[in-house]
Amino acid sequence: MKKWIALALVIILFGALGFTGNLYLVKALYYNFANIDDYKIFENTVIKKNTGRPWPHAYSYKTQTQNKLFNDTWQQYETTAFIVIQNDSLVFEQYAQDVNQQTISGSFSVAKSIVSVLIGVALNEGAIKNINEPVANYLPAFNNKSKKNITLKHLLTMSSGLKWDEAYSSLFSVTTKAYYGYDVATLVGNLPIETQPGINFNYQSCNTQLLGMILIKATGKTISQYAQEKLWQPLQAEHDALWSLDNSDGIEKCFCCFNSTATDFARIGALYLHQGNWHGLQIVDSTFVKESIKPAHLLYQGKANTIYGLHWWLATVAGKPVYFARGILGQYIFVLPHKNLVAVRLGNKRGEVLPDGYVSDINTYLNWLDKNY
């Protein structure tokens, strides 16, 4: 009898969650917190490689480092992969936890930078006219008095002014619902506006998801189809990638869920290191690349923004400008132009987020790269 009562309660609970639009809570509760293998619990589309182009090994190539600070950080934050590409050759790689060159890993918000790259591709081929276009040109839900002035640039610079709670630890935050939920397009399409766009930098995953939906409208293709045709295959990736969907018939979760290998993630950084050019093929216009990696004219914490461009993070090392993509568990694609270098770090943890918006472990990696290459 107790067994049937328990079953009835479970059925009632599932029904209540479904009726209120909160069925995602079941998956969120079960899996508790995001991890680098989450593509295994979601539906995915395959982004197929074509003819792969392996990174050549540099004369100085090595696979281990003896630097204590680097190794301590490696252990502390459970690094799974770290590779360095310099002068378009592989100079360093190290893996752990049964990870190797073929291992696919989640990138989390590194996907945001990849979506920005795809916007640059669409601009380069004319599918999108310019980033100052209103979002309403592509998404009718924005064609109203409160949201009609939001532009693609506002989305790219995280200054749309939309109401969004970027909280990953709360089961009930809209970000958690977007990650584990089943209809991300409706979720972000119905967001109200909270502040005037184009004033303050406010990091929000909804902006990237909207950019992905704009790409679908502009190109007539799914995000994965467009990425495969215009980016992954032209970049001569060695491995198929995966992009996780919100449901089996749904769309890509553009803000988080691009999954690939360390060596193939490095191609994204190398593309921007070379101003949008890949071995003679101009995939992204250099003007867009340059704008992507300079500070957007916004306020952050009451001061001029210095840390964010068009979906790329900005920093300095030894007084030299660097830029990078970053994910919540310490997924990084670093680009150090003064060293002609790209590095990728993947793993299970990252340092603490500092008051200025940076993450504490980033300086360790950047300083190690600057001093050793």
Task: Supply the DSSP string of 148-180, one letter for each residue.
Answer: TT-BHHHHHTT---B-----SS-TTSHHHHHHH
Nearest CA among 78, 121, 92, 156 for reference residue 285 = 121
Question: What confidence score (pLDDT) does residue 99 get?
Answer: 95
Could you give the CA distance from residue 38 to residue 112 in angstroms, rounded to a whole number? Answer: 17
Taking Cα atoms as reference points, which of 320, 18, 365, 39 lies closest to residue 179?
Answer: 39
Residue 9: per-residue pLDDT: 35
Mark whether 259 and 338 lie in a shared domain: yes
Query: CA–CA separation, 21 vs 121, rounded Å?
Result: 36
Strand partners, 325: 333
Average pLDDT over residues 234-240: 98
Residues 18 and 136 in one domain: no
Q: How far is CA 316 from the centre of its chain?
A: 21
Distance CA 136, CA 149 (A): 8
Q: What share of the chain is helix, strand, coil (3-state, %, to 5)?
A: 35, 20, 45
pLDDT in tens, 107-157: 999 999 999 999 999 999 999 999 999 999 999 999 998 999 999 999 999
What is the extent of the structural domain holding 78? 33-372
- Percent of the chain residues past pLDDT 90, beyond the cut: 83
Mean pLDDT over each residue of the chain, to the nearest integer: 91
Query: What's the chain's length in residues?
Result: 373
Question: Do 77 and 6 sit in the same domain of this protein?
Answer: no
Q: How far apart are CA 363 and CA 141, in angstroms?
A: 41
Looking at the structure, do residues 7 and 84 belong to the same domain, yes or no? no
* 31 band by pLDDT with thresholds 50, 70 and 90: low
Predicted confidence (pLDDT) per residue in 182-218, tens digit: 999 999 999 999 999 999 999 999 999 999 999 999 9
43 pLDDT higher than 50: yes
Q: What is the pLDDT of residue 66?
A: 79
Give the rounded distance of the alpha carbon of 264 from its chain centre.
14
As a whole number of angstroms, the distance between CA 351 and CA 73 comes to 9
Which pLDDT score is estimated for 21? 52
**CATH number of the domain encompassing residue 158:** 3.40.710.10
- Same domain for 74 and 57, yes or no, is yes
Mean pLDDT of 153-169: 92
- State the CB neighbour count (10 A cutoff) for residue 263: 21
Same domain, 212 and 170: yes
pLDDT score recorded for residue 15: 39
My answer on whether 134 and 196 are in the same domain is yes
Query: What is the distance between the alpha carbons of residues 82 and 90, in angstroms, rounded to a whole number?
Result: 11
Considering the domain architecture, whether residues 40 and 15 belong to the same structural domain is answered as no
Q: Does residue 10 surpass a pLDDT of 60?
A: no
Q: Do 129 and 5 fall into the same domain?
A: no
Number of domains in the chain: 2
**Same structural domain, 25 and 119:** no
Whether 168 has a pLDDT exceeding 90, the answer reads no
Is there a single domain that holds both residue 319 and residue 365? Answer: yes
Check whether 2 has a pLDDT greater than 80: no
pLDDT classification of 33: cutoffs 50, 70, 90: confident
The pLDDT of residue 23? 66
Shared domain check, 6 and 43: no
Give the C-alpha separation, 262 to 342, whole Å.
11
Buried residues in 184-193 as b, exposed as e (16+ CB within 10 A) = bbebbbebeb
